[in-house]
Each structure stands twice: as structure tokens, then as C-alpha cells.
Structure 1
Amino acid sequence: MMQLLASGLQLWVRQQSQSIGSLDIQLQGTGLQLLRGRLAGVQLLARRVIYKDLHFELVELSSGPIQVHSGNLLKGKPLQLERAFEIQGQVSLTADGLTRSLSAPQWRALGDGLGEALLGIVPLVELRMCRDNLVFAARALGTPDLVELATTVVAARGSIEISSVVGNVSSRLPMDPSIHISDARIEAGMVQLIGTAQVSP
């Protein structure tokens, strides 16, 4: 039964994502609890994830208790979640992943908004890592040279604030109300975000 649920959860997670390189799911609880429609929790580790055109290098998540319709699994039907649940965890993004994310149509306006707020120039061309800084690069129309700005990232009021290393330029990202960022930093050559989120069925 637990293996059946693990397979069902893996399928559900893959269906929510555009692409996943590798995925490992560990279940917490007992078969008896599952028969009653309750799972104590889930731990997930995934690499090279694309979700809503956001490119994550690493995703590490754990959940609280989850209510599921166990009868569906026994009938060979897809997993169905009964109610929303909370997850905690960390995601890591490379500079290349951020560049590809902000180049996607649904996030391009955000990328150009950051270019305008931080550099005063659009379009945003790329992001790269330099030591412990995230460097934004934009090119004004009709000019060959890039304008660059080294920044740091921190958590601020449940969101992510990007600030220039030199000067006092900063921009706070708009955040889905179901997501709360508690820590943001640049480490091991990646932007690492820690927080919680509500997952709806």
C-alpha cells in the first residue's frame, strides 16, 4: 500500500511539473494510517526541475500530515488529495536557471521589471554569479555594451529582496500569498531560498 502511494505521489508530482531530472519520495507513517486516509508526511528530493517555466537545480521539501483518498489508489485510479497541506523546504537556482526562467514568456515582464528597477535599462539579458553576488546584466537598445550590477539577496517580509552591493538600489519580488520565504542567500554558486507554501488539491 505504501509503495502504491509512493508511486501515485511520484506520478502526481511529475504531472504538476514540466520536467524533472530525478525524483525521490520518502513516505512517513504506516499502512494502517494510510487505509484511514492519512499520511504522516512526505519528504521529496528532486533535481533539475522545471515548474511553471521556473528552472530549479535542486528542490528539497517535507510536508506535514496529508489527507488522501486511499480508495482511489486501491481501484487503480490517480491519487487524489483531500485537502490543502503545508510544505517546508529549500529550492536552489543557478544563474543559468534564473536567466532561462526570466526569459520565459510568463516571467519576461518580471525580468525586465528587475532590469528597470535595478539598472534603469531593459531588456534584461542575463544573470551570472560572481563570488557571493548575483550579477544582473542588461543592454540598452541600440548599444553593444552590457550594463552590469552586482547584488545580494535576502528574505524580506515573506518575499525576496534584491539589493545592489554598491549604492542603495533594491527591488522586492512580488510573491504568491501561499508562499512565505523565511531565508534567502547565495551559497555554493546558487541562489538558495527557504520557506513554506500551501499546496492545494
Structure 2
Amino acid sequence: MADPVLQLLASGLQFWIRQQCESVEQLELQLHGSTLALLRGRLEGVSLVARKAVFSALEIERVELRSGAISVQMGKLMKGQSLQLEQPFPVQGSAEFSGPGLSRSFSGAHWRGLGDQISEALLGLTPLQELTIENEQLLVRAQGREMATQPLAEAGCVVLQQCDGPQRYALPGDPNITIEQAELQSGRLLVSGTAMVQP
């Protein structure tokens, strides 16, 4: 039989993760640690895989994360209160994006401004019409024109570099997230890196 304390904490973490997302089609969560350590307020880590998630209006095909040690307030959790995290904790992971998902995301109200910045910087045109992934290139389209780019990771951020020219655009980053790799694989944009999750 599964450890009831681990089950309780897993339920709380799953609920918290789903609260952070607009939607998650599938979520697999695994806890690392022992009951004794948990009762002392420490979890050795969490691994999760999520599919078809929408986070902050951004469509993500697949997310795979592994956290470092997490400090939790077990007293409140055991009393039936909501899960409380005590300190920031590190997370390593990767996310996959499809061309259609990127296009929908950057056409929506939340990300439209950034989409237009991308097309303005690379094509000198707005609004952004479409982002597609073809032949291991990310195509940026606006007003009938397009530019083939390659995603790169530089200085902790994602940079779109023109395939046959000097044009480039560095996407604004989150200070809590460091992008270590950005590339196209099998028709998907794969981004990986590390982050600090704040309570």
C-alpha cells in the first residue's frame, strides 16, 4: 500500500500545479523522499510529466520537470489546510512546443504584443501572422512575408536567429528562469533549462 503521507502530499502538489495552469490534459507526479523526512518538513524532490498543458496562455505539448529539495509546512497540511511551501526551490526541466500551438499562443491577447515585437524585429512588419515549424526551421510570417529562423539559447534566453542573414531577436526572459538549450527536433521546439520556483 502506498504511504498515506506521500499520497496526501502528492494530492496537494497536484492540486497546486493544476491551479497554476489554465488546463492540463495529463499529469504524472512522483515524490522522492521518506515519511520521516516529510514529517520534518523536507521533500527530496518531485518529478512530473505534463502533456497538453496551457500555462499563462502558452500552449505546451509536453513538460518534464525534476525539482530539488522542497521545504513544506507539514503541520498545516496534516490539519487539512492547503499546502504551504516555505522556501524557493530549484527545478530542472524541458518543454516542447508545436508550431500550431505557438501560433495560437502568440495570436492570443496575452502574447500578441510579444508576437508583434518578433515580427517587427525580424521582418519589419506587424502584426504577426503565423509561426510554423517546417524542415527544422521556425518560420515567422507577417503580411505575406516570412523569415526562416533557428532558435538558440544565449545568456539564459531564447534567441531567434535568421538562418541566412544577420537578423536576430532575443525573447525577453524571466529572471527566475535560465534557458540552457533551445532547438528544433522532429517538428517541435524543445527548450530546456533551470528555474527557481517561488512560494
Q: How far 1:129 moved relative to its partner?
A: 1.2
Query: Given the alignment of the two structures, is residue 188 of structure 1 paired with residue 192 of structure 2, yes or no?
Result: no
Question: What SS does structure 1 have at the residue aligned with 2:110?
Answer: helix
Q: Which residue of 2 aligns with 1:76?
A: 80
Partner of 1:27: 31
Measure the CA separation in 2 of the matches of 1:76 and 1:22: 26
Determine which of 116, 119, 123 is the counterpart of 1:115. 119
SS of structure 1 residue aligned to 2:111: helix
1:91 matched residue in structure 2 = 95
Query: Cα deviations across residues 99-154 of structure 1 (Å, max 9, x unaligned)?
Result: 11111222111100000111111010111111110111111xxxxxx111111001
Aligned match for 1:154, one of 152, 175, 199: 152
Q: Which amino acid aligns with 1:151?
A: T
Describe the superposition over 1:5-36 as per-residue Cα deviations: whole angstroms up to 9, x where unpaired. Answer: 01110000001111101001100000110000
Per-residue Cα deviation, 1:168-196 (whole angstroms, up to 9, x for no partner)? 11111110111100111000211110101
CA RMSD of aligned residues (A): 0.8
What's the counterpart of residue 59 of structure 1? 63
- Cα drift, residue 52 of structure 1: 0.7
Determine the C-alpha separation between the residues in 1 that align with 2:34 and 2:47.
Answer: 15
Partner of 2:176: 178
What TM-score results when the alignment is normalised by the length of structure 2?
0.96
Amino acid at match of 2:61: E
Paired residue total: 195
**Partners of 2:110 and 2:134 in 1: how far apart?**
27
Which secondary structure state, in structure 1, belongs to the residue aligned with residue 174 of structure 2? coil
User: Which 5+ residue runs of structure 2 have no aligned equivalent?
Assistant: none
Question: With structure 1 as the length reference, what TM-score do the two structures score?
Answer: 0.95
Partner in structure 1 of residue 130 of structure 2: 126
Alpha-carbon distance, 1:76 to partner? 1.4
